Chains A and B, each alone.
Chain A
Amino acid sequence: MSGTPSAADGRDRTPVPDADVCVVGAGPAGALVANRLAADHEVVVLDAGPRFDPEDRLNRQERAIRPAYDRPDVWEMGGPRDAHAASGEWFYPLNHARVKGVGGSTLHWQGMVMRLHEADFSSGTERGVGPDWPLDYADLRPYYAEAERAFGVSGADDNPFGPPREAPFPNPAFPPSHSDSLFAEACEELDIATHSVPNARNSEPYDGRGECVGYGTCQPVCPSGAKYDATVHVESAESAGATVIDRARVTELAHGPDRIEAAVYVAPDGTEHRQTADAFVLAAGGVEIPRLLLLSASKLYPDGLANSSGAVGRYFTDHLFAGVGGVLEERTRQNHVGFVTTESHQFYDEADETVAPFKLEFLNYAGPSPVELAMTGDDWGDDLLGRLRESYGGHVAVGALVEQLPREDSYVGLDDERTDDLGNPVPDVHWTVGDRALRTIERSNEIQRDILAELGAEVTWTAGPDSTGPAYHHMGTTRMGEEPTESVVDPTLCTHDLENCWIASSSVFPTGGAVNPTLTIAALALRAADAVDEALSRSL
């Protein structure tokens, strides 16, 4: 354990002596790595953000509902610490897309957890575009199962298009919604198969956490704790002996030619510390990991640490949202819960060079939430109630998640013109989207419009190629591969350049597929932890 307190809040933020493993980032990847290694190794986790008080979650929910607050306000994102740039032709709202703090972005995530399809691991071979992963579904399959148990995933083995499974989900799937039943009829007429959604929220009590109670604010905050977040495994890791230091902003990785020597971090009182360790695991997400490597440039690594390939920060991808919404003349019972219970992966594996994989999501929260709508407008009393009744009622919407191919001109770099409050260049998310993804959004919109037409809905909005946005999944910026000249990490998630540095993040994804990435992040994190454990056992 570490020594004396070093900050005004009395918390000890001094380095842990004789640490075996230093994990940078206390999100899902860092938490799972720390938890897996803590029993047998001295583990320290550094996170740039605070340790949030669970008692404050209802107050955060109020911020999520009230119009006075923007999304980053819920988890205190923004300000000089989180300054960023977006120089690409597509603006990227970075602070809407992430949370810094113990639990990381799982504090505000939606919690949809699917396995990648088998063909996602070989996009180049199967679809003729993009790189293949250097591992395949079979390599990750046991880790996927373990990740599902860790998250307590509620799901059913009813997706005819999904990859093969070996065991039931830990919890039963959430049953379909009323609006799902309307969509199911329409989809049946169109020969589109629908199925349940694996959710990282408890449909039954699991792992000491209660079942979902239907607050409906899953994204950005679950007050009940039924939605999994990484504080679960941070606490578990701490129980096993790990040390978690919050508000420890890692600014540099001190290194020699082949190894990281220390993570240099700044505590809230401005004191700089050096956390040494035998092994380092970078788990700070697809933006801050490449930023940290680029900030750690040296004479040995003039273009950035672990960047002899030049791939650090390159190939930034996100998933794109496509959607069509409309109104039925009947009531569709939206906004009771904040999660999705029906999807279709029917078109996913039709992907080729010209059309990307995508999945359809049938929303349970189409249209405005009455309580939020009530706090806007210039009416009240009977007039307000009339407006709420008119606006709530028959909304329906079908969303889609679309893969974006990696491109060299889509990247995370450093903005040398602008610094954060510690004087370090801020991250520049230079986001560029190619024609294949845009064509796929059009294709998704066609199907979505067909479904709404079959339902008899009047279409009221479309999120198409001109109005799409990111799903806040940061991928590709330290890609995995066999070749040190083309990739940053090898299939064990260890960097090609440094023998004691692993990366656990969606930043290692060579391609993104079209499913939400966190289950794959978790599976890779568990795989990385095994690799670290093996390396430590060899007296690294």
Chain B
Amino acid sequence: MELSRRDAIGALAAIGVGTGAAAYAVDTGGDAATAPVETLVAVAEVVYPSELSGVEPFVETFAERRAAGDDDHARGVRAAVETMDDRAEAWYDAAFADLAAEDRDSLLREMGVDTAAEVPDGSTAERVRYYVVNDLLMALYASPTGGELVGLENPRGHPGGTDSYRRGPRQ
């Protein structure tokens, strides 16, 4: 199943990005930080299911709005990614995005991200879970394509209208 730009825009709309919401507004000034797109794509390739395609443009669109601004959340994403890269360099001698997929998976688990609850001001593992892994999971599973993977095309958080709840399951 292929992720689309519509999915990314939908995911952004569900969390208030691109709709004028102040907390996650994109900083259009000249000092806007660069989103760590490459690393986020590398994480998504681990935490997203293998049957998905179109992950890279989806994450790019999402990350450029979600992780590039001058707001607390974007700063939190960048700080968490920086920590992941530091660990990757220390333990695997390479940046996170340059690791093989198995090593990326291992690193996240060695950091304890798999068993951590998301906490925005918590431990390293809790912050990576909140700002990186769960941000990406929320983006996917609040999107129409992510929802359809599971069996509902209008997941919670997505303004998918009031028709789908009336339809029966597809045969």
Contacts from A to B (Cβ < 8 Å):
53, 55-59, 61-62, 65-68, 174-178, 181, 203, 211-217, 223-224, 330-331, 333-338, 341, 364, 369-372, 374-376, 378-382, 384-385, 388-389, 392-393
Of the candidates A174, A370, A376, the one whose C-beta lies within 8 Å of that of B162 is A174
Q: Are A215 and B118 in contact (CB under 8 A)?
A: no
Of the candidates A215, A333, A370, A378, the one whose C-beta lies within 8 Å of that of B159 is A215
CA distance A55 to B115 in the complex (A): 34
Q: Are A333 and B20 in contact (CB under 8 A)?
A: no
CA distance A197 to B168 in the complex (A): 20
Select the stretch in B26-34, B56-64, B81-89, B142-150 that faces chain A. Answer: B142-150
Of the candidates B115, B118, B165, the one whose C-beta lies within 8 Å of that of A214 is B165
20 of the cross-chain contacts (CB-CB < 8 Å) are: A56-B22, A58-B16, A58-B19, A59-B15, A66-B138, A214-B159, A214-B161, A223-B16, A333-B168, A337-B162, A370-B155, A371-B137, A371-B155, A371-B157, A372-B156, A380-B47, A385-B51, A388-B141, A388-B149, A389-B151
Q: Are B114 and A65 in contact (CB under 8 A)?
A: no
- The answer to whether A389 and B167 touch (CB under 8 A), given A335-B155, A369-B155, A375-B137, is no
User: Considering the complex, which residues of chain B in the window 1-57 have a beta carbon less than 8 Å from any beta carbon of chain A?
Assistant: 13-16, 19-24, 46-51
Identify whether the interface residues of B are mostly helix, strand, loop, or mixed: loop
Q: Are A336 and B150 in contact (CB under 8 A)?
A: no
Top 5 nearest A-B pairs (CB, nearest first) are A58-B16, A336-B165, A380-B47, A331-B169, A213-B159
Q: How large is the interface on B (under 10, 10 to 19, 20 to 34, 35 or more residues)?
A: 35 or more
A338 surroundings in chain B (CB, below 8 A): 156
Of the candidates A56, A68, A393, the one whose C-beta lies within 8 Å of that of B151 is A393
Closest to A337 in B: B165
Chain B nearest Cβ from A67, distance in angstroms = 6
Of the candidates A57, A178, A224, A384, the one whose C-beta lies within 8 Å of that of B167 is A178
CA distance A203 to B115 in the complex (A): 42
Q: Are A55 and B21 in contact (CB under 8 A)?
A: yes
CA distance A59 to B120 in the complex (A): 14
Chain A nearest Cβ from B159, distance in angstroms = 4
Closest to B149 in A: A385
Apart from the given pairs A66-B118, A371-B137, 5 other A-B contacts in the complex at a CB distance below 8 Å = A68-B130, A214-B161, A214-B162, A370-B141, A388-B150
A216 surroundings in chain B (CB, below 8 A): 154-158
Q: Are A215 and B169 in contact (CB under 8 A)?
A: no
User: Considering the complex, which residues of chain B in the window 110-167 have a beta carbon less than 8 Å from any beta carbon of chain A?
Assistant: 114-115, 117-120, 130, 133-134, 137-138, 140-142, 146-147, 149-152, 154-162, 164-167
Of the candidates A65, A341, A379, the one whose C-beta lies within 8 Å of that of B156 is A65
Chain B nearest Cβ from A56, distance in angstroms = 6
CA distance A217 to B142 in the complex (A): 12
B114 surroundings in chain A (CB, below 8 A): 378-380
CA distance A385 to B158 in the complex (A): 19
Chain A nearest Cβ from B94, distance in angstroms = 21
- Count the A-B residue pairs with Cβ separation under 8 angstroms: how many? 173
Closest to A177 in B: B165
CA distance A36 to B169 in the complex (A): 47
Instruction: Name the residue in A58, A67, A68, A181 with the highest tally of chain B Cβ atoms < 10 Å from its Cβ.
Output: A58
Q: Are A333 and B152 in contact (CB under 8 A)?
A: yes
A334 surroundings in chain B (CB, below 8 A): 152
Q: Are B14 and A214 in contact (CB under 8 A)?
A: no
Closest to A373 in B: B141
Q: Are A336 and B160 in contact (CB under 8 A)?
A: yes
B142 surroundings in chain A (CB, below 8 A): 65, 371
A392 surroundings in chain B (CB, below 8 A): 150-152
CA distance A217 to B134 in the complex (A): 19
Q: Are A214 and B160 in contact (CB under 8 A)?
A: yes
Q: Are A177 and B118 in contact (CB under 8 A)?
A: no
CA distance A362 to B146 in the complex (A): 27
B146 surroundings in chain A (CB, below 8 A): 371
Of the candidates A66, A214, A337, A379, the one whose C-beta lies within 8 Å of that of B134 is A66
Q: Are A177 and B16 in contact (CB under 8 A)?
A: no
Q: Are B167 and A56 in contact (CB under 8 A)?
A: no
Closest to A65 in B: B157
B19 surroundings in chain A (CB, below 8 A): 55, 58
Of the candidates A211, A214, A330, the one whose C-beta lies within 8 Å of that of B164 is A214
Q: Are A389 and B156 in contact (CB under 8 A)?
A: no
Chain B nearest Cβ from A369, distance in angstroms = 4
Q: Are B23 and A59 in contact (CB under 8 A)?
A: yes
Of the candidates B15, B105, B140, B169, the one whose C-beta lies within 8 Å of that of A333 is B169
A55 surroundings in chain B (CB, below 8 A): 19-22
Q: Are A58 and B151 in contact (CB under 8 A)?
A: no
Q: Are B166 and A370 in contact (CB under 8 A)?
A: no
Q: Are A375 and B166 in contact (CB under 8 A)?
A: no
- The answer to whether A375 and B118 touch (CB under 8 A), given A61-B16, A370-B152, A382-B49, is yes
Q: Are A178 and B118 in contact (CB under 8 A)?
A: no
B21 surroundings in chain A (CB, below 8 A): 55-56, 58-59
Chain B nearest Cβ from A235, distance in angstroms = 19
Closest to B101 in A: A381
Q: Are B130 and A336 in contact (CB under 8 A)?
A: no
CA distance A67 to B10 in the complex (A): 20
Q: Are A381 and B166 in contact (CB under 8 A)?
A: no
Instruction: Name the residue in B119, B166, B169 with the highest tally of chain A Cβ atoms < 10 Å from its Cβ.
Output: B166
Chain B 73-117: CB-based contact to A (< 8 A → 1; otherwise 0): 000000000000000000000000000000001000000001101
Q: Are A62 and B16 in contact (CB under 8 A)?
A: yes
CA distance A133 to B151 in the complex (A): 49
Q: Are A217 and B169 in contact (CB under 8 A)?
A: no
B161 surroundings in chain A (CB, below 8 A): 213-214
CA distance A174 to B152 in the complex (A): 19
Q: Are B118 and A370 in contact (CB under 8 A)?
A: no
